[in-house]
Chain A
Amino acid sequence: MTALAPMPSSQRHSQSNSASQRARDIKRGYKARLRRGDLLETIVYFSVAIVLALFLADGGATYFINIKDVATGLGIVTGLVGSDLLLIMLLLAARIPVIDRTFGHDMALALHRKLGKPVLYLILAHMLLLMIGYGIAQGLNPVAEAIDMIVNQQDMSIAFIAMGLLILVVVTSLVIVRRKLSYEFWYVVHLLSYAAILLALPHQFTQGMMFADGTWARWYWMALYVGTLAAITIFRVIIPVASSLRHDLRVSEVVVEAPGVVSVTMSGRDLDALRAQGGQFFHWRFWSANMWWEAHPYSLSAHPDGRSLRITVRDLGKGSSKLLSLKPGTRVSFEGPYGLFTEAARTTNKAVFVGAGIGITPIRALLEASNLAPHEATVILRGSDAEDVYLWQETYDLCVEKSASLRVLVGRRPRGVNTWLSAEAYGKGESLLTLAPKIKESDLYICGPTPWTELVIRDAQRLGLTDHQIHAERFDF
Chain B
Amino acid sequence: MRARSAFLAGVGSAAIVAIGWQAGVGTLVSSLPQS
Contacts and interface: CB of A to CB of B under 8 A. Distances in A.
A46 B12 contact: yes
Interface in A61-85: 61-62, 65
A56 B24 contact: yes
A338 interface: no
A34 interface: yes
A397 interface: no
Most buried by B among A48, A52, A57, A58: A57
Contact of B24 (A37, A41, A48, A57): A57
Interface string B1-20: 11001001110111011011
Contact of B5 (A42, A48, A50, A59): A42
A45 B5 contact: no
Given A37-B1, A61-B28, A56 B21 contact: yes
A49 interface: yes
Contact of A53 (B1, B5, B10, B17): B17
Nearest to B26: A59
Q: Is the interface of A mostly helix, strand, loop or mixed?
A: helix
Contacts of A45: 9-10, 12-13
Most buried by A among B21, B24, B27, B32: B24
B31 A49 contact: no
Contacts of A56: 17, 20-21, 23-24
Contacts of A59: 24, 27-28, 31
B2 A38 contact: yes
A380 B19 CA distance: 55
Contacts of A48: 13
A323 to B, nearest CB: 41
B12 A62 contact: no
Contact of B31 (A42, A46, A53, A62): A62
Most buried by A among B9, B20, B23, B32: B20
A50 B16 contact: yes
A88 interface: no
Given A42-B8, A45-B9, A60 B24 contact: yes
Contact of B17 (A41, A52, A58, A62): A52
Contacts of A334: none
Contacts of B5: 38, 41-42
A65 B31 contact: yes
Nearest to A55: B20
A175 B10 CA distance: 33
Contact of B16 (A37, A46, A62): A46
Given A54-B20, A57-B20, A57-B23, 15 more contacts: A41-B1, A41-B5, A45-B13, A46-B9, A53-B16, A53-B17, A53-B21, A56-B20, A56-B21, A56-B24, A57-B21, A58-B27, A59-B28, A61-B21, A61-B25
24 contacts: A38-B1, A38-B2, A38-B9, A42-B5, A42-B8, A42-B9, A45-B9, A45-B10, A45-B12, A46-B16, A52-B16, A52-B17, A53-B16, A53-B21, A56-B17, A56-B21, A56-B23, A57-B24, A58-B24, A59-B31, A61-B24, A61-B28, A65-B28, A65-B31
Interface of B: 1-2, 5, 8-10, 12-14, 16-17, 19-21, 23-25, 27-28, 31-32
